[in-house]
Amino acid sequence: MRAAYQAILWILATFAFANQAHAETGYDLWLRYQPLDASTVQRVAPKLRYVVADGSRPTIRAALDELDRGLAGLIGSAPAHASAVRGEGGVVLATAGSPLLAGMKLPLAALGREGFLLRTTTIGGAKVTLIAANSDTGLLYGSFRLLKLLQLRAPIDALDVQDAPKLQLRVLDHWDNLDRYVERGYAGQSLWDWQKLPGYKDPRYTDYARANASIGINAVVPNNVNANADILTAPYLQKVKALAEVFRPYGIRIYLTARFSAPIEIGGLKTADPLDPAVRAWWKAKADEIYAVIPDFGGFLVKANSEGQPGPSDYKRSHADGANMLADALAPHGGVVMWRAFVYSEHNDADRHKQANDEFVPLDGKFRDNVLLQVKNGAIDFQPREPFHPLFGAMPKTPLMLEVQITKEYLGFATHLAYLGTMWEEVLESDTFRPRAGSTVAKVLETPVAPKALTGMAGVANIGTDVNWSGSQFDQANWYAYGRLAWDPDAKAEDIARDWARLTWSPDPAVVTPIVAMMLESREAVVNYMTPLGLGHVMATGHHYGPGPWVSDLARPEWNPTYYHRADADGIGFDRTPTGTNALGQYAPQVAKRWGDLKTVPDSLLLWFHHVPWDYRLRSGETLWNSLIAHYDTGIATVEGMQRRWAGLEGKVDARRWAEVRDFLAIQRQEAQWWRDASIAYWQSLSKRPLPAGHLAPPRPLSYYEAIRTPHAPGNGK
């Protein structure tokens, strides 16, 4: 009888486990808190018995909730909460000044406002795991770190960890419209259900805040840079307030995009001229109103005089005039302005690469202290590969933030596996040589321009209502990597990928090794089948889904791919050396020299800076034409390799997520072929050269690829 009973229990348990293992959707992200087996618990954390928190403020509550959730998942039951140290096996959360830390001489000053330390120590004669910080947010970050260590199966009995963010503002920008359409979004609708706010706060907002806090993101802009002024009206501010209340315990401040013409649109003024006293008064009153509703409001993000958006140039005022007006309105409340440098104009015929630099460098030193200039990683627009933006290092008196795009507008949307950690690392590691060798983009970001100056980084979110948040399982890694790099711009993309794979898929090296390998090769695969050898924007019009290198009929020259690649019968590439537009002159001489010289420019940036004949010999001895074709095929081969690696993981990871990735890789393989065939058909129509031996001709004529239309591709701006 007893044996039969046990057998039934066993069957039930197996079912429950199998079900659970199959049911994973990706919703839990990297916070899965899967049970550790008994021997692992014994090895890493045999004595976790209780948690003592110094205080019961909302952020402490959030930390305790997370520890409860995490420890219940990992070790089977959440240790009791206690009000005092109770012998061995406690986790103790304490901020500076707590009596619990009396006499300990901890290096808290070095941790700043958001850092933390984890230490195995003795309090009241008992051995405990201490999380200490200067703020409750630091404790929350420390709690997430402890849980991460446990998830990674790192023993916690001799901890001595100290960490603090290197940048102050770690921002997630959502390009979400108020009707829930997400510009460049491939993960469903906007998370923000404005219509139900403020009455209903979807519990998912809390999960979103948890995920952000777990990687140190401390600022959120919920609405699109192509802004709608309605967000600044009283009813919407109540909705924003409700979101702010959810985010606040997680150390996250809310910011809003400010439409420059809002004084006209919602204020009834006749002008938005930043030097007009009535306009200035309007913004001041608006800032006062916002802070009355949301006392810890962060400030404004502004896209002005770019792609049709209103801005100070409409009134012949400078970007500094515009930014400073808003900065003055926010300053009494401690708010900041993130002013975007993504500025190019339909009235300017200069190489688009040069326009932001031309516009902003003369304004260095003219911005208020509470203004940051938000600069995209490259001078054009989030391409699969761009050289770093020449503004980095060129404005030593102005705080510059780096803006990266997490959502993959130009890298295959949700279905192409492309880990962007390596792409951002490449930019962050680039040496600007300003003011000196070794001044990488990361260093420019990390070094405040004055003792109290602001620092920061922004990422355009890839998050929506899809159950897996990011549109694909692997796109979660880009959200994760962004947070990690905003915390520490010197972190290594490979380490981040490894952590993510272990947390998100499995700690088993047989799973982690192939996944990390896939991630590390993935971005270069996309570059190879979309924009090899330094090609720029060659995507289809509007939605940017699929190839369109032949497009040349759009109203403005710089909207056309032909503007960027300049291919003709003789050759291909954009001459940005002194014989061309000399965009290179905007970089430090060391950089300009290296990239300007055909002998030293890396192949990966060749066509970005040079126009060369089809028969030009690369340093490898290969002709440009042959090498171009080979790159496309290498890209496809890499995707096939990723498919093989993934096939080998069947049964080693949960079935549902595994199948989703398998299917997405098949889509990627197909679309990589489309990119390759269409691009080669077009280049060949110009170069008139045969394909090198071993490379197949595109199966269809160029006209076939040119005729492909996908009008309903997601994410198009509107």
Q: Which residues bind ligand BDP (CB under 6 A)?
A: 183-184, 225-226, 303, 307, 342, 381-382, 409, 717
Q: Which is nearer to ligand BDP, 478 or 504 (CB)?
A: 478
With CB atoms as reference, the residue minimizing the distance to ligand BDP is 717
**CB-count burial class (<10 Å; 0-12, 13-18, 19+) for 571:** buried
Q: How far is the CB of 73 from ligand BDP (least distance, A)?
A: 38
Residues with Cβ within 8 Å of 292's Cβ and at least 6 positions away in sequence, in order, are none
Residue 44 main-chain phi, psi, to 5 deg: -95, -35
Q: Which is nearer to ligand BDP, 288 or 307 (CB)?
A: 307
- Which of 665, 680, 671, 679 lies closest to 521, judged by CA? 665
Q: Which is nearer to ligand BDP, 214 or 224 (CB)?
A: 224
* CA of residue 677 relative to chain centroid, distance: 31
So which residues are the catalytic ones?
A: 307, 381, 409
Q: What is the 3-state secondary structure (H, E, C) of 223-275?
A: CCCCCCHHHHCHHHHHHHHHHHHHHHHHCCEECEECCCCHHHHCCCCCCCCCC
Q: How far is the CB of 175 from ligand BDP (least distance, A)?
A: 7
Q: How far is the CB of 503 from ligand BDP (least distance, A)?
A: 30
Cα–Cα distance measured from residue 657 to residue 542, given in angstroms and rounded to the nearest whole number = 31
Per DSSP, the three-state class of 111 is helix
Give the distance between the most distant pair of CA atoms in the chain: 90
Q: How far is the CB of 179 from ligand BDP (least distance, A)?
A: 16
Question: Apex CA 331: angle with CA 327 and CA 335, to 5°?
Answer: 85
Q: Which is nearer to ligand BDP, 210 or 303 (CB)?
A: 303
Q: How far is the CB of 182 from ligand BDP (least distance, A)?
A: 10
Q: Which is nearer to ligand BDP, 342 or 487 (CB)?
A: 342
Cα–Cα distance measured from residue 636 to residue 440, given in angstroms and rounded to the nearest whole number = 32
Residues with Cβ within 8 Å of 11's Cβ and at least 6 positions away in sequence, in order, are none
Q: What letter would DSSP give residue 36?
A: P
What would the two tokens of residue 667 be? 């889509």
Q: How far is the CB of 409 from ligand BDP (least distance, A)?
A: 6
Residues with Cβ within 8 Å of 572's Cβ and at least 6 positions away in sequence, in order, are 535, 565, 566, 607, 611, 612, 614, 624, 628, 683, 686, 687
Cα–Cα distance measured from residue 636 to residue 641, given in angstroms and rounded to the nearest whole number = 9
Which residues, in sequence order, are bridge partners of residue 612?
Answer: 572
Rounded (10°) CA dihedral 494, 500, 501, 505: 180
Q: How far is the CB of 563 from ligand BDP (least distance, A)?
A: 16
User: Among the residues of 531-654, which ranges form H helices?
Assistant: 561-565, 589-596, 606-609, 624-647
Q: How far is the CB of 309 from ligand BDP (least distance, A)?
A: 8
User: Among the residues of 613-711, which ranges form H helices?
Assistant: 624-647, 655-687, 702-706
Q: Which is nearer to ligand BDP, 416 or 502 (CB)?
A: 416
Contact (CB, 8 A) for 80 and 41: no
Q: Which is nearer to ligand BDP, 296 or 314 (CB)?
A: 314
Q: How far is the CB of 666 from ligand BDP (least distance, A)?
A: 27
Cα–Cα distance measured from residue 499 to residue 148, given in angstroms and rounded to the nearest whole number = 9
